[in-house]
Chain A
């Protein structure tokens, strides 16, 4: 089971956890598994056509999956996925 690091803005959708486990052979399956366990994350991750939203980046370990094979990128048991939505300032 791969580990998914949850960004602050999505933590409320996964019961406040900073990281959760999810299963799947590739990035798409792992994120779908996350969305089925935590339905509130689905619309934040995926657009209506099933692709990753453009304002969300997903990294397999430290590499952007868009420069790998996107949602088809293979995921191993010990891999970590980092979900990273755009975050602005908050410096106020």
Chain B
């Protein structure tokens, strides 16, 4: 007489090893592979932290890519411990896995014991399509795309540098883009500020930028700050952002931004442009130098080219802004080697890129100290703060 389902399960369980959720909870931290053999829909509703989904029907064909070493320890689980018991027997008897165990009680018991459950957030089918070229790159993939969608990036200025940066970060699916700008679109901007358009002359730059961003990617949440960043509002604006893109056009704000971001430990991707020349560096507080390590003090007003209107090749902020966007994405994803401790000098006329080293200054007035020791009064301390640009004319 054939065995009943219950008898078969008892027999199978007697042939395999089981493991209690409490032990699995400890093994997770040791990096032991955990395989969820439920269906993919069940997996999507929540799974053990770090578990790999291999539905039981695909077990034999997919297990080797996740656990190639047959002598390695591997733990299987399902909803209640039945399917994973059958799966464990298959791996053990048919495929030669030596240390396979099935978790007692499945994820139901795991949850009852109050252990952590990870709920994966799946991309929508539209997002899979929109970001398909990212999903195809192993360094990004679905997980990286999710990081981009979760990222909060603040752009200081929707001008020459901010325009291309905002457009490409929006296209890449950066979920939240904050934009600080108190200016309105002017005809003379359009030679380089490609996020704006002729029919939006006179419109505020943050509104114009939002319109372009939403036309490109409605997924992006645009947070508008129609103001100038200054000592009175900087902490409130920048707190909570993951990365700040700096296209600040004056020294007082540049130092203020540096000091505030060091205190909040927010990395800044900084670029500046003049004529045919551009500079770029990434200032990641406490991992690399800060702006004050690079330039302890600003030049006197007569030597500061930043205050009045200066000529710039229209394409140059595009080049430098896209280098900034690239660095932002690397920081968000944690890939590659961001330009931390390096200053890149781009000469558009010569078509050359030079790099110089930037070191942390052990005597830096700001980043040589703990962030909590930097007081409000010290932020952006700067000679002739108010008079600086007035003197430069």
Q: Mark B297-313, 1 if CB is under 8 A from A, else 0.
A: 11110011110011010
Residue of B295, B300, B317 with most partner-chain A CB within 10 A? B295
Contact B356 A82, beta carbon cutoff 8 Å = yes
A9: CB under 8 A from chain B? Answer: yes
A18: CB under 8 A from chain B? Answer: yes
Contact A92 B298, beta carbon cutoff 8 Å = no
Residues of chain B within 8 A of A54, CB atoms compared? 295-297
Contact of B249 among A5, A53, A84, A91 (CB under 8 A): A91
User: CA separation between A85 and B295, bound complex, in Å?
Assistant: 8
A15: CB under 8 A from chain B? Answer: no
Which residue of A is nearest B294, CB measured? A57
For the complex formed, measure the closest distance between the CB of A65 and the CB atoms of chain B, giving whole angstroms: 11
Interface band, chain B:
35 or more
For the complex formed, measure the closest distance between the CB of B323 and the CB atoms of chain A, giving whole angstroms: 13
- List A1-60 residues whose CB lies under 8 Å from chain B: 5, 7-9, 18, 44, 53-57, 59
B221: CB under 8 A from chain A? Answer: no
For the complex formed, measure the closest distance between the CB of B119 and the CB atoms of chain A, giving whole angstroms: 41
User: CA separation between A16 and B357, bound complex, in Å?
Assistant: 26
Residues of chain B within 8 A of A7, CB atoms compared? 277
Q: Provided the pairs A57-B295, A64-B356, A84-B356 are in contact, do residues A89 and B350 lie with their beta carbons within 8 angstroms? A: no
A77: CB under 8 A from chain B? Answer: no
Q: Provided the pairs A62-B356, A63-B356 are in contact, do residues A91 and B317 lie with their beta carbons within 8 angstroms? A: yes
Spot the interface stretch: B41-49, B81-89, B267-275, B329-337.
B267-275
For the complex formed, measure the closest distance between the CB of A52 and the CB atoms of chain B, giving whole angstroms: 11
B250: CB under 8 A from chain A? Answer: yes
Contact of A86 among B273, B295, B350 (CB under 8 A): B295
For the complex formed, measure the closest distance between the CB of A13 and the CB atoms of chain B, giving whole angstroms: 10
For the complex formed, measure the closest distance between the CB of B142 and the CB atoms of chain A, giving whole angstroms: 34
Residues of chain B within 8 A of A44, CB atoms compared? 303
Which residue of A is nearest B275, CB measured? A8
B162: CB under 8 A from chain A? Answer: yes
Residues of chain B within 8 A of A86, CB atoms compared? 251, 294-295, 298-299, 304
Contact B305 A9, beta carbon cutoff 8 Å = yes
User: CA separation between A18 and B351, bound complex, in Å?
Assistant: 13
User: CA separation between A24 and B159, bound complex, in Å?
Assistant: 43
Contact A91 B295, beta carbon cutoff 8 Å = no
For the complex formed, measure the closest distance between the CB of B307 and the CB atoms of chain A, giving whole angstroms: 9
B355: CB under 8 A from chain A? Answer: yes
For the complex formed, measure the closest distance between the CB of B191 and the CB atoms of chain A, giving whole angstroms: 12
Instruction: Count residues of A near B (Cβ-Cβ below 8 Å).
Output: 26
Contact B299 A91, beta carbon cutoff 8 Å = no
For the complex formed, measure the closest distance between the CB of B178 and the CB atoms of chain A, giving whole angstroms: 16
Residue of B275, B300, B304, B356 with most partner-chain A CB within 10 A? B356
- List B264-295 residues whose CB lies under 8 Å from chain A: 271-277, 279, 294-295
Q: Provided the pairs A84-B343, A84-B356, A91-B162 are in contact, do residues A55 and B254 lie with their beta carbons within 8 angstroms? A: no
Contact of A90 among B295, B300, B310, B356 (CB under 8 A): B310
For the complex formed, measure the closest distance between the CB of B374 and the CB atoms of chain A, giving whole angstroms: 20
User: CA separation between A82 and B343, bound complex, in Å?
Assistant: 12
Which residue of B is nearest A88, CB measured? B306
Contact B294 A88, beta carbon cutoff 8 Å = no
Residues of chain A within 8 A of B21, CB atoms compared? none
Residues of chain A within 8 A of B247, CB atoms compared? 89, 91
Contact of A92 among B159, B279, B299, B355 (CB under 8 A): B159
Extra 13 A-B pairs, beta carbons < 8 Å, given A86-B295, A89-B247, A92-B309: A9-B274, A18-B347, A53-B299, A55-B303, A62-B355, A62-B356, A85-B303, A86-B298, A86-B304, A88-B254, A89-B254, A91-B249, A92-B160
20 residue pairs of the A-B complex, CB under 8 angstroms, read A5-B354, A18-B347, A18-B349, A55-B298, A55-B299, A55-B300, A57-B295, A62-B355, A67-B359, A82-B354, A84-B343, A85-B299, A85-B303, A86-B298, A88-B306, A89-B249, A90-B273, A91-B159, A91-B249, A91-B273
Which A residues are within 8 Å of any B CB, using their own CB?
A: 5, 7-9, 18, 44, 53-57, 59, 62-64, 67, 82, 84-92
* A-B interface, 5 closest residue pairs, ranked by CB to CB distance from nearest: A89-B249, A91-B247, A88-B306, A86-B295, A55-B299
